[in-house]
Amino acid sequence: MQSCPALDPATGACDLYAARPVTCRVFGPPVPSKDGIGVCDLNFIGASKSEILAAQLDTSWSPLETDLNTQAEAETHHSGATIIAWALLREPR
């Protein structure tokens, strides 16, 4: 398993903590994707691969998210995925 690209290799600290993605905000559960399982390694120090897979997030809600995003894009005329760099550059509200 690869470590999270947001972790500082020298300190192991998260460089994105203040604007962290949803995966991290919900305590970093393993999230399935087309590329495999995404996981915050800081939450699974010493865990076996089978323990990590047993904690995998249920993503059966994904089609609903797609429908809601499509509706929001139609109503706002804005589209596209949010990127981490954009989130980091935004002014706090």
Q: What is the DSSP string of 4-61?
A: PTTB-TTT--BTTGGG--HHHHTT---EEETTEEE--GGG-TT--HHHHHHTPPP-TT
According to DSSP, residue 91 is labeled P
The model's pLDDT over 60-79, given as tens digits with 9 standing for 90+, comes to 887 888 888 888 888 888 77
Task: Quick: pLDDT tens for 40-56.
Answer: 777 787 889 899 888 88
Domain extent listing, the chain: 17-89
Distance CA 57, CA 11 (A): 28
CA 3 remoteness from chain centre:
13
Report pLDDT for 34: 80
Q: Cβ distance 32 to 55 under 8 Å?
A: no
- How far apart CA 24 and CA 47 sit, in angstroms, is 17
Question: What's the whole-number mean pLDDT along residues 8-27?
Answer: 76
